[in-house]
A = this chain, B = another copy of it.
Amino acid sequence: MYKINGKEFKCSVEITNEIFNDKWKLGIVWHLLNGSKRYKELSEDIYQITQKTLTVKLKELEEKKLIKREVFAEVPPKVIYSLTPIGKKLQDTLNAMNNWGIEYAKECGEITDNYVCEKKH
Protein backbone atom coordinates (compact mmCIF):
# COMPACT_ATOMS: atom_id res chain seq x y z
CA MET A 1 0.00 0.00 0.00
CA TYR A 2 1.23 3.44 -0.90
CA LYS A 3 0.32 6.94 0.14
CA ILE A 4 1.16 9.98 -1.94
CA ASN A 5 -0.03 13.42 -0.90
CA GLY A 6 -2.64 11.87 1.33
CA LYS A 7 -4.04 9.69 -1.42
CA GLU A 8 -3.84 5.93 -1.11
CA PHE A 9 -2.93 3.42 -3.80
CA LYS A 10 -3.24 -0.32 -3.48
CA CYS A 11 -0.88 -1.06 -6.34
CA SER A 12 2.08 0.76 -7.82
CA VAL A 13 0.66 0.48 -11.31
CA GLU A 14 -2.21 2.65 -10.13
CA ILE A 15 0.25 5.40 -9.26
CA THR A 16 1.77 5.51 -12.71
CA ASN A 17 -1.60 5.13 -14.35
CA GLU A 18 -3.13 8.00 -12.46
CA ILE A 19 -0.29 10.41 -13.09
CA PHE A 20 -0.39 9.78 -16.81
CA ASN A 21 -4.10 9.40 -17.20
CA ASP A 22 -4.41 12.26 -19.63
CA LYS A 23 -3.75 13.08 -23.21
CA TRP A 24 -0.43 14.86 -23.00
CA LYS A 25 1.87 14.30 -20.02
CA LEU A 26 3.50 11.14 -21.32
CA GLY A 27 4.21 12.82 -24.62
CA ILE A 28 5.84 15.77 -22.90
CA VAL A 29 8.10 13.45 -20.91
CA TRP A 30 8.85 11.46 -24.04
CA HIS A 31 10.08 14.61 -25.78
CA LEU A 32 12.05 15.78 -22.77
CA LEU A 33 13.91 12.48 -22.68
CA ASN A 34 15.78 13.87 -25.67
CA GLY A 35 17.06 16.71 -23.52
CA SER A 36 15.96 20.03 -22.05
CA LYS A 37 13.64 22.17 -24.09
CA ARG A 38 12.14 25.63 -24.08
CA TYR A 39 8.45 26.24 -23.85
CA LYS A 40 8.31 27.20 -27.50
CA GLU A 41 10.16 24.10 -28.64
CA LEU A 42 7.75 21.89 -26.75
CA SER A 43 4.74 23.66 -28.17
CA GLU A 44 6.13 23.13 -31.66
CA ASP A 45 7.28 19.57 -31.15
CA ILE A 46 4.16 18.27 -29.51
CA TYR A 47 1.63 17.94 -32.22
CA GLN A 48 -1.45 20.10 -31.79
CA ILE A 49 -1.29 20.80 -28.08
CA THR A 50 -2.71 24.21 -27.24
CA GLN A 51 -0.69 26.75 -25.26
CA LYS A 52 -3.11 26.66 -22.38
CA THR A 53 -2.98 22.90 -22.08
CA LEU A 54 0.80 22.85 -22.39
CA THR A 55 1.08 25.33 -19.55
CA VAL A 56 -1.32 23.36 -17.40
CA LYS A 57 0.44 20.06 -18.04
CA LEU A 58 3.91 21.48 -17.46
CA LYS A 59 2.71 22.82 -14.13
CA GLU A 60 1.26 19.45 -13.17
CA LEU A 61 4.48 17.69 -14.09
CA GLU A 62 6.44 20.19 -12.04
CA GLU A 63 4.17 19.75 -9.03
CA LYS A 64 4.63 16.01 -9.27
CA LYS A 65 8.39 16.57 -9.37
CA LEU A 66 8.87 14.96 -12.75
CA ILE A 67 10.29 18.03 -14.44
CA LYS A 68 12.34 21.05 -13.43
CA ARG A 69 11.57 24.58 -14.58
CA GLU A 70 14.35 27.13 -14.96
CA VAL A 71 13.62 30.76 -15.67
CA PHE A 72 16.25 33.01 -17.18
CA ALA A 73 15.85 36.72 -16.51
CA GLU A 74 16.22 37.82 -20.08
CA VAL A 75 14.27 39.80 -22.62
CA PRO A 76 12.55 38.10 -24.29
CA PRO A 77 11.92 35.59 -21.51
CA LYS A 78 13.53 32.17 -21.61
CA VAL A 79 12.31 29.12 -19.72
CA ILE A 80 13.94 25.73 -19.86
CA TYR A 81 12.19 22.52 -18.92
CA SER A 82 14.07 19.35 -18.08
CA LEU A 83 13.43 16.01 -16.43
CA THR A 84 14.27 15.34 -12.80
CA PRO A 85 16.05 12.08 -11.93
CA ILE A 86 12.74 10.36 -11.17
CA GLY A 87 11.36 11.77 -14.41
CA LYS A 88 14.26 10.30 -16.35
CA LYS A 89 13.48 6.91 -14.88
CA LEU A 90 10.39 6.87 -17.05
CA GLN A 91 12.64 5.95 -19.95
CA ASP A 92 12.01 2.23 -19.48
CA THR A 93 8.27 2.68 -19.35
CA LEU A 94 8.20 4.89 -22.41
CA ASN A 95 10.43 2.52 -24.33
CA ALA A 96 8.15 -0.37 -23.49
CA MET A 97 5.12 1.64 -24.58
CA ASN A 98 6.90 2.62 -27.76
CA ASN A 99 7.76 -0.99 -28.59
CA TRP A 100 4.27 -2.21 -27.85
CA GLY A 101 2.75 0.53 -29.99
CA ILE A 102 4.81 -0.70 -32.93
CA GLU A 103 3.74 -4.29 -32.32
CA TYR A 104 0.13 -3.21 -32.11
CA ALA A 105 0.34 -1.19 -35.32
CA LYS A 106 1.84 -4.20 -37.11
CA GLU A 107 -0.97 -6.39 -35.92
CA CYS A 108 -4.03 -4.16 -35.95
CA GLY A 109 -3.10 -1.26 -38.20
CA GLU A 110 -0.58 -0.26 -40.78
CA ILE A 111 2.72 1.52 -40.91
CA THR A 112 2.28 4.12 -43.62
CA ASP A 113 5.69 5.69 -43.48
CA ASN A 114 9.18 5.10 -42.17
CA TYR A 115 9.07 8.32 -40.21
CA VAL A 116 9.17 7.33 -36.56
CA CYS A 117 8.82 10.22 -34.18
CA GLU A 118 11.92 12.32 -33.95
CA LYS A 119 13.56 10.24 -31.29
CA LYS A 120 17.13 9.16 -31.00
CA HIS A 121 17.21 7.14 -27.83
Contacts and interface: CB of A to CB of B under 8 A. Distances in A.
B94 A13 contact: yes
B27 A13 contact: yes
A75 interface: no
Nearest to A26: B17
A115 B8 CA distance: 13
Q: How many copies does the complex hold?
A: 2
A93 B100 contact: yes
A4 B90 contact: no
Contact of A117 (B3, B13, B17): B13
Interface of A: 1-5, 8-23, 26-27, 30, 47, 64-65, 86, 89-90, 92-105, 107-113, 115-117, 119
8 contacts: A1-B115, A2-B101, A2-B110, A12-B97, A13-B26, A14-B27, A65-B107, A93-B100
